[in-house]
A and B are shown apart, each in its own frame.
Chain A
């Protein structure tokens, strides 16, 4: 198959020959039988998400491995890391293998399960991390995401233990006592709205502690969904020390602020904007964008968190936390980072494919688009602008904060090991 006139990382148009799941040849005017015309499209390495909630097993009403990976493919992803907070929790080799196999069967994108750090996410006893690492799912990323591993001793042990198989602990940084009943970023808006405040320090204090712990035991730490300017400062400091700390930011924290809870097209107190960690201030958004641009924050991760309609059609305090993001991530990153001149397409490829694949130790993903690489390719049209229509989503859920918003770009095609999973925006 020939992909004709693709602009690799936004460069000059060239042709790519894809054979046996690999990129066999790159150059002008290649001949071949099947041709995909990529005129005007930017070619990126297939995107890799470090943070996806597929909800299966347990909450198949919100999402399944099938619908979640369809959404991923439509968003340009060729691999997603499936978070462990399912029911049952992904804390044994059996559960992670089941999720991994489902991903293989459906084939829309690779599903790399994340293992729980503690049994049942209870924060008391380590799960069998080694068994998950040795399973067919080859788990390397461990996280109690949704909950913080707040016990300092347990966190220390987890960081140490996973060194044996080059694992990483992905921490959901949220000091539990400081966030009891918390609803919205603690600041001017939460004060006015009378919603219980969620202070930035609850995130920052845990990140600071974990960086110090990781340095002390010489381990790898990954910080999930960084949301505050203070967190950025701490991570920048840890990296300057040469410590092995990486971090992610979600698309929504790059674009939206806590003022959405007060003023938005869908009215005040609409829990479509309720998310953990909460939306922060414009100052935080600015710091996060700069940190993603300068590499302090390594990657964009969606924290795609599907919820059925009834879990969001409620008063703010009663509604579920989270928003879906797989099918809008690239557009939001274009809007927040590319249109603002903070990242070029090579930067986008690095933050959404190369680095997340390396952090997850994911073989066969995040490779540069060059001869010999695995043919995981996303073709993206950055020139269009369209209103976000949740009706077109493959995700089972509709809890997107971008409904009706005009965003740039569209994923036209996604190739997984040379096989199209999406063509002309449609699932294959």
Chain B
């Protein structure tokens, strides 16, 4: 595995290897000294064309716990506007000797293009409306920890699937790992030909909830309302929001997830977000662990050798 650009790049075994490695690394995070020497002398560049402090910090913490040198490279504004092109940025990083480039970009496919211009490993930290594979890995990791398994797990992914990189990566990864995904959204927020994806599709959240082990709520951006994807925030919330009443329809072991940042009161009510069955805070912690595992495996760490 050279790059991690799409969840589709991962075989079932590779995905499980990442999750198992993350389990081992999680133990390190519980030590008083949280640092491993594994990536000493290696350089990881966080190349962020979109503001995402959460994801950047998560990757930064992951790289630093493995003793890598971290360079944060933020490019304000989109590269579509005038300025340095993605290619020139790539050549600059190449000249600086980046061993891995973690890229977040507003354009779908930007990590694929980058991978053609640099020698180091490319990790997709979210590209446009395409994918966010480390988010899917940390979601799977969080599910496995809470539920004890992934095989046969029934996962509902609810919200703006059309524009969601989280949804795309989760469908691919969870399918590979044997979970059964149901996408739930108003028809306007589902991609054309979604019926060919390896998952179920429903417009009716109330019908799906009682059958779900995991409910993953996606962030809904208010600007979608202005583009007529749905009539109003209130109507969206009424039909697709996870409030207290809907929460009661879940069976008692079911968990609630959200990739963050949340719109409390829109797709998820505060009560649900803060309930013990919500994994939202754990997801953040698990994010660091899973990203450590990804960097560790991509940059050639051998499992078991220096963890123990």
**B-contacting residues of A (Cβ < 8 Å)?**
183, 186-188, 190-197, 199, 267-270, 310, 313-318
Could you pull out 14 A-B pairs where Cβ atoms are within 8 angstroms?
Answer: A187-B193, A191-B192, A194-B131, A194-B168, A195-B108, A197-B192, A268-B109, A269-B110, A314-B85, A314-B113, A315-B107, A315-B109, A317-B107, A317-B108
Check if B53 is an interface residue, CB within 8 A of chain A.
no
Q: How far is the CA of A43 from the CA of B193 in the complex (A)?
A: 46
Residues in A with CB closer than 8 Å to B115 are: 267
Question: Which of A191, A196, A315 has a CB less than 8 Å from the CB of B194?
Answer: A191
B87-119 at interface with A (beta carbon < 8 Å): 87, 105-110, 112-113, 115-116
Closest 9 CB pairs of A and B: A269-B109, A194-B130, A191-B191, A315-B107, A194-B129, A188-B193, A194-B108, A317-B107, A315-B110
Tell whether, in the assembled complex, residue B85 and residue A310 are in contact, meaning their CB atoms are under 8 Å apart. yes
Check if B1 is an interface residue, CB within 8 A of chain A.
no
Q: How far is the CA of A267 from the CA of B110 in the complex (A)?
A: 12
Tell whether, in the assembled complex, residue B116 and residue A267 are in contact, meaning their CB atoms are under 8 Å apart. yes
Tell whether, in the assembled complex, residue B86 and residue A314 are in contact, meaning their CB atoms are under 8 Å apart. yes
Check if B187 is an interface residue, CB within 8 A of chain A.
no
Question: Which of B80, B165, B196 has a CB less than 8 Å from the CB of A317?
Answer: B80
State the total of A-B contacts with C-beta under 8 angstroms. Answer: 76
Residues in B with CB closer than 8 Å to A268 are: 109, 112
Tell whether, in the assembled complex, residue B192 and residue A195 are in contact, meaning their CB atoms are under 8 Å apart. no
A315 and B105 contact, Cβ closer than 8 Å, known pairs A186-B192, A191-B194, A197-B191: yes
Check if B259 is an interface residue, CB within 8 A of chain A.
no
Tell whether, in the assembled complex, residue A314 and residue B87 are in contact, meaning their CB atoms are under 8 Å apart. yes
The smallest C-beta distance from A374 to any residue of chain B, in angstroms, reads: 48
A315 and B116 contact, Cβ closer than 8 Å, known pairs A191-B194, A194-B165: no
Q: How far is the CA of A310 from the CA of B110 in the complex (A)?
A: 15
Tell whether, in the assembled complex, residue B193 and residue A191 are in contact, meaning their CB atoms are under 8 Å apart. yes
Q: How far is the CA of A197 from the CA of B108 in the complex (A)?
A: 12
Tell whether, in the assembled complex, residue B130 and residue A188 are in contact, meaning their CB atoms are under 8 Å apart. no
The smallest C-beta distance from A158 to any residue of chain B, in angstroms, reads: 30
The smallest C-beta distance from A80 to any residue of chain B, in angstroms, reads: 32
Tell whether, in the assembled complex, residue A195 and residue B193 are in contact, meaning their CB atoms are under 8 Å apart. no
The smallest C-beta distance from A265 to any residue of chain B, in angstroms, reads: 12
Check if B188 is an interface residue, CB within 8 A of chain A.
no
Check if B265 is an interface residue, CB within 8 A of chain A.
no
Residues in A with CB closer than 8 Å to B193 are: 187-188, 191
The smallest C-beta distance from B284 to any residue of chain A, in angstroms, reads: 24
Residues in A with CB closer than 8 Å to B196 are: 188
Q: How far is the CA of A187 from the CA of B112 in the complex (A)?
A: 21
Which among A186, A194, A267, A270 has the highest number of chain B CB atoms within 10 Å? A194
Question: Which of B79, B107, B165 has a CB less than 8 Å from the CB of A316?
Answer: B107
Smallest CB gap from B85: residue in A:
A314
Residues in A with CB closer than 8 Å to B86 are: 314-315, 318
The smallest C-beta distance from B54 to any residue of chain A, in angstroms, reads: 20
Q: How far is the CA of A141 from the CA of B105 in the complex (A)?
A: 42
The smallest C-beta distance from A152 to any residue of chain B, in angstroms, reads: 22
B204-230 at interface with A (beta carbon < 8 Å): none
B58-101 at interface with A (beta carbon < 8 Å): 78-80, 85-87
Tell whether, in the assembled complex, residue A318 and residue B87 are in contact, meaning their CB atoms are under 8 Å apart. no
Check if B301 is an interface residue, CB within 8 A of chain A.
no
Check if B186 is an interface residue, CB within 8 A of chain A.
no
Residues in B with CB closer than 8 Å to A197 are: 191-192
Smallest CB gap from A195: residue in B:
B108
The smallest C-beta distance from B16 to any residue of chain A, in angstroms, reads: 24
Residues in B with CB closer than 8 Å to A317 are: 80, 106-108, 128
The smallest C-beta distance from B20 to any residue of chain A, in angstroms, reads: 28
- With A188-B196, A199-B192, A317-B80 given, name 13 new contacts (CB 8 A): A193-B108, A193-B109, A194-B127, A194-B130, A195-B109, A195-B128, A195-B130, A267-B115, A269-B109, A310-B85, A315-B86, A315-B107, A318-B107
